[in-house]
Protein backbone atom coordinates (compact mmCIF):
# COMPACT_ATOMS: atom_id res chain seq x y z
CA UNK A 1 0.00 0.00 0.00
CA UNK A 2 2.85 2.38 0.85
CA UNK A 3 4.45 1.74 -2.53
CA UNK A 4 1.21 2.72 -4.28
CA UNK A 5 1.00 5.93 -2.25
CA UNK A 6 4.62 6.76 -3.13
CA UNK A 7 3.84 6.20 -6.79
CA UNK A 8 0.77 8.44 -6.58
CA UNK A 9 2.81 11.15 -4.81
CA UNK A 10 5.51 10.99 -7.49
CA UNK A 11 2.86 11.27 -10.21
CA UNK A 12 1.45 14.31 -8.42
CA UNK A 13 4.94 15.84 -8.33
CA UNK A 14 5.35 15.22 -12.06
CA UNK A 15 1.95 16.82 -12.68
CA UNK A 16 2.90 19.90 -10.60
CA UNK A 17 6.16 20.33 -12.52
CA UNK A 18 6.12 23.11 -15.05
CA UNK A 19 5.35 21.90 -18.51
CA UNK A 20 6.63 21.22 -21.06
CA UNK A 21 8.96 18.52 -19.88
CA UNK A 22 12.23 18.11 -21.73
CA UNK A 23 13.44 14.99 -23.49
CA UNK A 24 14.64 12.44 -20.89
CA UNK A 25 13.31 14.53 -17.98
CA UNK A 26 11.13 11.80 -16.44
CA UNK A 27 12.81 8.68 -15.12
CA UNK A 28 12.34 5.95 -12.56
CA UNK A 29 14.74 6.38 -9.63
CA UNK A 30 16.52 3.57 -7.78
CA UNK A 31 13.49 3.14 -5.48
CA UNK A 32 11.19 2.58 -8.46
CA UNK A 33 9.50 5.97 -8.08
CA UNK A 34 8.87 8.41 -10.95
CA UNK A 35 11.08 11.46 -10.72
CA UNK A 36 11.72 14.61 -12.73
CA UNK A 37 15.24 15.66 -13.56
CA UNK A 38 15.81 19.43 -13.73
CA UNK A 39 17.60 20.07 -16.04
CA UNK A 40 16.81 16.96 -18.09
CA UNK A 41 19.49 14.31 -18.20
CA UNK A 42 21.57 14.06 -21.41
CA UNK A 43 19.94 11.97 -24.12
CA UNK A 44 21.25 10.05 -27.09
CA UNK A 45 18.95 8.82 -29.82
CA UNK A 46 19.38 6.99 -33.12
CA UNK A 47 17.06 6.69 -36.09
CA UNK A 48 17.11 5.66 -39.73
CA UNK A 49 16.00 8.02 -42.52
CA UNK A 50 16.96 8.62 -46.15
CA UNK A 51 18.99 5.38 -46.11
CA UNK A 52 21.25 6.78 -43.34
CA UNK A 53 21.62 6.18 -39.64
CA UNK A 54 21.26 9.46 -37.75
CA UNK A 55 22.46 10.22 -34.23
CA UNK A 56 21.01 12.85 -31.90
CA UNK A 57 22.54 14.13 -28.67
CA UNK A 58 20.65 16.48 -26.36
CA UNK A 59 22.37 18.01 -23.35
CA UNK A 60 21.62 20.83 -20.96
CA UNK A 61 23.90 23.83 -20.74
CA UNK A 62 23.81 27.11 -18.79
CA UNK A 63 21.37 28.80 -21.19
CA UNK A 64 19.07 25.90 -22.10
CA UNK A 65 19.64 22.85 -24.27
CA UNK A 66 22.11 22.00 -27.00
CA UNK A 67 20.97 19.52 -29.65
CA UNK A 68 23.36 17.92 -32.10
CA UNK A 69 22.26 15.79 -35.06
CA UNK A 70 24.68 13.95 -37.33
CA UNK A 71 24.89 11.11 -39.84
CA UNK A 72 27.70 9.35 -41.68
CA UNK A 73 26.95 9.93 -45.36
CA UNK A 74 29.85 7.97 -46.85
CA UNK A 75 33.27 8.67 -48.28
CA UNK A 76 34.53 10.99 -50.98
CA UNK A 77 35.69 8.73 -53.83
CA UNK A 78 39.44 8.58 -54.35
CA UNK A 79 40.77 10.16 -57.52
CA UNK A 80 42.22 6.79 -58.54
CA UNK A 81 38.79 5.16 -58.25
CA UNK A 82 37.00 7.72 -60.36
CA UNK A 83 38.15 11.30 -60.95
CA UNK A 84 34.73 12.19 -62.37
CA UNK A 85 32.82 10.93 -59.33
CA UNK A 86 35.25 12.68 -56.98
CA UNK A 87 34.83 16.01 -58.77
CA UNK A 88 31.03 15.63 -58.79
CA UNK A 89 30.90 14.81 -55.07
CA UNK A 90 33.13 17.78 -54.20
CA UNK A 91 30.98 20.04 -56.41
CA UNK A 92 27.82 18.87 -54.60
CA UNK A 93 29.47 19.50 -51.23
CA UNK A 94 30.53 23.01 -52.33
CA UNK A 95 26.98 23.75 -53.51
CA UNK A 96 25.60 22.70 -50.11
CA UNK A 97 27.82 25.13 -48.18
CA UNK A 98 25.20 27.89 -48.04
CA UNK A 99 22.46 25.84 -46.39
CA UNK A 100 21.06 27.55 -43.29
CA UNK A 101 20.77 24.43 -41.10
CA UNK A 102 22.55 21.45 -42.63
CA UNK A 103 26.33 21.30 -42.89
CA UNK A 104 28.26 18.70 -44.81
CA UNK A 105 31.70 18.20 -43.29
CA UNK A 106 34.56 16.09 -44.62
CA UNK A 107 36.69 14.48 -41.91
CA UNK A 108 40.20 13.13 -42.21
CA UNK A 109 40.00 9.96 -44.23
CA UNK A 110 37.48 11.67 -46.54
CA UNK A 111 34.42 10.64 -44.49
CA UNK A 112 31.40 12.87 -45.21
CA UNK A 113 29.18 13.81 -42.28
CA UNK A 114 25.85 15.59 -42.30
CA UNK A 115 25.79 17.76 -39.18
CA UNK A 116 23.38 20.21 -37.57
CA UNK A 117 23.09 21.66 -34.12
CA UNK A 118 20.73 24.06 -32.49
CA UNK A 119 20.40 25.75 -29.15
CA UNK A 120 17.06 26.05 -27.42
CA UNK A 121 16.28 28.23 -24.40
CA UNK A 122 14.96 25.89 -21.74
CA UNK A 123 14.36 22.17 -22.10
CA UNK A 124 13.84 20.68 -25.56
CA UNK A 125 10.56 18.81 -25.92
CA UNK A 126 10.14 15.77 -28.14
CA UNK A 127 8.06 17.84 -30.58
CA UNK A 128 10.76 20.50 -30.88
CA UNK A 129 13.42 17.87 -31.45
CA UNK A 130 11.39 16.11 -34.15
CA UNK A 131 10.68 19.45 -35.81
CA UNK A 132 14.42 20.22 -36.02
CA UNK A 133 15.15 16.74 -37.39
CA UNK A 134 12.48 17.12 -40.09
CA UNK A 135 13.84 20.54 -41.07
CA UNK A 136 17.35 19.10 -41.37
CA UNK A 137 16.26 16.14 -43.49
CA UNK A 138 14.10 18.28 -45.77
CA UNK A 139 16.96 20.70 -46.33
CA UNK A 140 19.60 18.03 -46.93
CA UNK A 141 17.46 15.55 -48.94
CA UNK A 142 18.25 16.87 -52.46
CA UNK A 143 21.99 16.88 -51.72
CA UNK A 144 21.87 13.43 -50.12
CA UNK A 145 20.16 12.02 -53.20
CA UNK A 146 22.71 13.63 -55.52
CA UNK A 147 25.58 12.37 -53.38
CA UNK A 148 24.15 8.84 -53.39
CA UNK A 149 24.34 8.79 -57.20
CA UNK A 150 28.07 9.53 -57.16
CA UNK A 151 29.35 7.85 -54.00
CA UNK A 152 31.15 4.52 -53.99
CA UNK A 153 28.84 1.57 -53.35
CA UNK A 154 28.42 0.62 -49.69
CA UNK A 155 30.75 -2.07 -48.34
CA UNK A 156 29.72 -5.70 -48.68
CA UNK A 157 28.08 -7.29 -45.69
CA UNK A 158 24.84 -6.99 -43.78
CA UNK A 159 23.30 -3.56 -44.23
CA UNK A 160 19.81 -2.14 -43.91
CA UNK A 161 19.60 -1.70 -47.68
CA UNK A 162 20.66 -5.32 -48.17
CA UNK A 163 18.17 -6.54 -45.58
CA UNK A 164 15.36 -4.60 -47.25
CA UNK A 165 16.28 -5.94 -50.69
CA UNK A 166 16.43 -9.51 -49.36
CA UNK A 167 13.05 -9.09 -47.64
CA UNK A 168 11.57 -7.74 -50.85
CA UNK A 169 12.94 -10.67 -52.88
CA UNK A 170 11.66 -13.24 -50.38
CA UNK A 171 8.22 -11.56 -50.35
CA UNK A 172 8.10 -11.69 -54.15
CA UNK A 173 9.18 -15.35 -54.15
CA UNK A 174 6.45 -16.21 -51.63
CA UNK A 175 3.77 -14.39 -53.65
CA UNK A 176 2.80 -16.50 -56.70
CA UNK A 177 0.97 -13.56 -58.27
CA UNK A 178 4.05 -11.32 -58.35
CA UNK A 179 6.05 -10.97 -61.51
CA UNK A 180 9.83 -10.69 -61.48
CA UNK A 181 11.09 -7.19 -62.14
CA UNK A 182 14.33 -6.10 -63.69
CA UNK A 183 16.80 -4.37 -61.39
Using CA atoms, how far apart are residues 111 and 52, in angstroms rounded to an integer?
Answer: 14
- Distances in Å between the Cα of 38 and the Cα atoms of 82, 104, 118, 128, 130 are 53, 33, 20, 18, 21
pLDDT tens for the 183 residues of the chain, in order? 555 666 666 666 655 655 555 666 666 777 776 666 666 667 788 988 888 899 998 887 777 788 899 999 989 888 888 889 999 999 999 999 999 999 999 998 889 999 999 887 877 777 888 899 999 999 999 999 999 988 866 555 455 555 555 555 555 555 555 444 444
Q: Is the overall model pTM greater than 0.75, yes or no?
A: no
Architecture in CATH of 42-152: 2-Layer Sandwich (3.30)
Amino acid sequence: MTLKLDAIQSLAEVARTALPLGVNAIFVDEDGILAVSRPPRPSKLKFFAEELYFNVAVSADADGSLCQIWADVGFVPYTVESPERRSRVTAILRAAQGLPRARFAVENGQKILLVADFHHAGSVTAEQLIYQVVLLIQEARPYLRLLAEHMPPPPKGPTVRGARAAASRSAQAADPTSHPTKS
